[in-house]
């Protein structure tokens, strides 16, 4: 099959039609109905001059701090972008070489469609604004232009410690991660067209809706009694009179996304895998047949790239260039990752009677996922404990899923889903968060991710199909889906 023919068969129709459909949806959201401008028949009004200008702000004493904070957010976004290269090489290395092009193609699509869909709908669904009901509000596209007043607000500290554009870019890098987690779990047998649709809908709607419950000011941040700045309960009468809460007694806490990003992706992956089924020949009457990855060097490179990117993932979540907090977050991140690797090395040696490299690599990632929810709240000493427990958990979890005939070629469900749960609970055990709030958040996000992904996968299975034929799987997706090979020999 030629490359052109492979592209034309995506979604069962010419690929340009898929792109045209997406473009139409994008521009429909950018129509005047969503624009921040008066209707055509409304009288024009003179724009109000801002009290200050961006130029005067740049000359102010606070600009240097603002510029430093903004630069750090951008650098963190670049580091998180590098994680997508890490995912691509890790997945490629742990899978058979006949599926390498397919895996790399999916990762190219994920970051591309992830950023565009986050621009078109995701960002303003993720952060829905003041009239949010706490559960769901569908957002429109990113605003392309501002009035003078809005421009000043969105490009200065009036918005945050960073600009509106930096905020979007940093969060967009996060958003695509959810689909990347799914990519590894369904590798080597998923139909490309089904995966592309699943990834698009999961990132644009599923991830952003669940994320809005926590980071968008939704119901998970308002669990329990309302508290003032001193931690005292605010009376109902005072709340009715307009008093505002500084926090809530059982509020869910997830600093950088052990649940909101990683557990979401992990349980979305579990649902898709259950609909998809295992790879051909993986489970036989005689037992489990290992399907060995083709390049452990590629897998190791991927993990170390992910480790590097995680300093931006967690460090950037400070949302400022606060020297003390960024330093501490990066230290707890590194300690947890290393403890996770050591624990998985030790446990795998005793459990499977050999020091398994793939387990060691997943141990790094388990520790990183485990500390993500509480990197700012858990002490360095307890971050070692958190990471070590995650590293041990991931070994037993991978083995358990294999015994249950849940085929996950890269261990993504265990690393992100199971260790994401542990990391979120660890904030209650070691970081002072409410255990009740953490459990509620875990259950709500994980269950929503599973149901959303499962329903989407079933719809795809009944329409375009989710799995390649046995012949195509045997031949390899590089040839059957793309008409090209990753290696010349």
CA angle 389-393-394, nearest 5°? 120
Instruction: Work out how many domains the chain is built from and give that number.
Output: 1
Instruction: Place 84 in a pLDDT band, splitting at 50, 70 and 90.
Output: very high
Q: What is the pLDDT of residue 40?
A: 40
Q: Are 310 and 337 in contact (CB under 8 A)?
A: yes
Q: Are 173 and 316 in contact (CB under 8 A)?
A: no
Q: Is residue 49 part of a domain?
A: no
Over residues 128-156, mean pLDDT: 83
CATH of residue 252: 1.10.3430.10
The answer, yes or no, to whether residue 240 has pLDDT greater than 80, is: no
Domain that holds residue 219: 61-235+244-482
The length of the chain is: 489
Q: What is the pLDDT of residue 5?
A: 39
Q: Is residue 449 part of a domain?
A: yes
Q: Is residue 339 part of a domain?
A: yes
Over residues 276-294, mean pLDDT: 89
Q: Is residue 146 part of a domain?
A: yes
Q: Is residue 54 part of a domain?
A: no
Q: Is residue 55 part of a domain?
A: no
pTM (two decimals) = 0.87
Q: Is residue 13 part of a domain?
A: no
Q: What is the pLDDT of residue 135?
A: 93
Q: What is the pLDDT of residue 57?
A: 82
The answer, yes or no, to whether residue 172 has pLDDT greater than 80, is: yes
| Better-scored residue on pLDDT, 270 or 3 | 270
pLDDT digits (tens, 9 = 90+) for 384-443: 999 999 999 999 999 999 999 999 999 999 999 999 999 999 999 999 999 999 999 999
Over residues 229-238, mean pLDDT: 74
Q: What is the pLDDT of residue 20?
A: 52
Residue with tokens 């950088």: 256
Over residues 190-200, mean pLDDT: 95
Q: Is residue 425 part of a domain?
A: yes
pLDDT digits (tens, 9 = 90+) for 444-468: 999 999 999 999 999 999 999 999 9
Number of CB atoms found within 10 A of residue 424's CB: 32
pLDDT digits (tens, 9 = 90+) for 8-53: 344 444 444 554 555 555 444 443 333 333 334 444 444 444 456 7
């Amino acid at each position: 099959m030629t490359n052109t023919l492979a592209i034309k068969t995506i979604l069962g129709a010419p690929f340009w039609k898929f792109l045209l459909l997406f473009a139409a949806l994008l521009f429909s959201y950018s129509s005047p109905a969503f624009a921040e401008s008066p209707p055509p028949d409304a009288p024009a009004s003179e724009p109000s001059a801002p009290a200050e200008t961006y130029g005067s702000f740049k000359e102010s004493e606070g600009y240097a701090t603002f510029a430093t904070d903004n630069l750090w957010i951008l650098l963190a976004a670049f580091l998180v972008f590098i994680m997508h290269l890490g995912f691509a090489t890790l997945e490629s290395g742990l899978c058979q070489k006949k599926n390498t092009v397919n895996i790399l193609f999916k990762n190219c699509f994920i970051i591309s469609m992830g950023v565009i869909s986050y621009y078109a709908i995701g960002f303003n669904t993720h952060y829905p604004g003041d009239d949010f009901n706490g559960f769901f509000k569908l957002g429109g596209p990113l605003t392309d232009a501002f009035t003078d007043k809005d421009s000043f607000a969105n490009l200065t500290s009036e918005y945050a410690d960073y600009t509106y554009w930096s905020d979007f870019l940093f969060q967009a890098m996060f958003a695509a991660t959810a689909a990347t987690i799914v990519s590894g779990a369904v590798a080597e047998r998923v139909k490309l067209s089904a995966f592309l649709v699943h990834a698009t809908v999961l990132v644009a709607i599923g991830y952003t809706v669940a994320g809005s419950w926590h980071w968008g000011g939704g119901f998970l941040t308002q669990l329990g009694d309302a508290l003032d700045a001193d931690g005292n309960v605010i009376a109902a009468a005072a709340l009715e009179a307009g008093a505002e809460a500084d926090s809530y007694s059982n509020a869910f806490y997830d600093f950088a996304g052990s649940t909101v990003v990683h557990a979401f992706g992990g349980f979305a992956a579990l649902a898709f895998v259950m609909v998809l089924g295992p790879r051909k020949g993986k489970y036989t009457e005689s037992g489990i047949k290992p399907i060995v990855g083709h390049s452990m060097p590629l897998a190791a490179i991927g993990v170390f790239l992910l480790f590097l990117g995680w300093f931006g993932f967690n460090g950037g979540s400070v949302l400022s260039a606060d020297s003390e907090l960024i330093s501490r977050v990066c230290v707890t991140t590194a300690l947890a990752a290393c403890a996770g690797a050591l624990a998985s090395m030790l446990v795998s040696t005793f459990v499977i009677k050999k020091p398994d490299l793939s387990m060691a690599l997943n141990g790094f990632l388990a520790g990183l996922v485990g500390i993500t929810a509480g990197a700012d709240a858990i002490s360095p000493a307890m971050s070692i404990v958190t990471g070590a427990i995650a590293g041990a958990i991931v070994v037993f979890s991978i083995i358990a899923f294999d015994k249950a005939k849940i085929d996950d070629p890269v261990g993504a469900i265990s690393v992100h889903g199971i260790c994401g749960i542990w990391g979120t609970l660890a904030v209650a055990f070691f970081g002072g968060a409410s255990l009740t709030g953490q459990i509620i958040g875990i259950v709500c996000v994980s269950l929503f991710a599973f149901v959303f992904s499962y329903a989407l996968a079933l719809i795809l299975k009944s329409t375009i199909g989710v799995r390649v034929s046995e012949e195509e799987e045997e031949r390899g997706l590089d040839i059957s889906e793309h008409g090209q090979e990753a290696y010349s020999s």
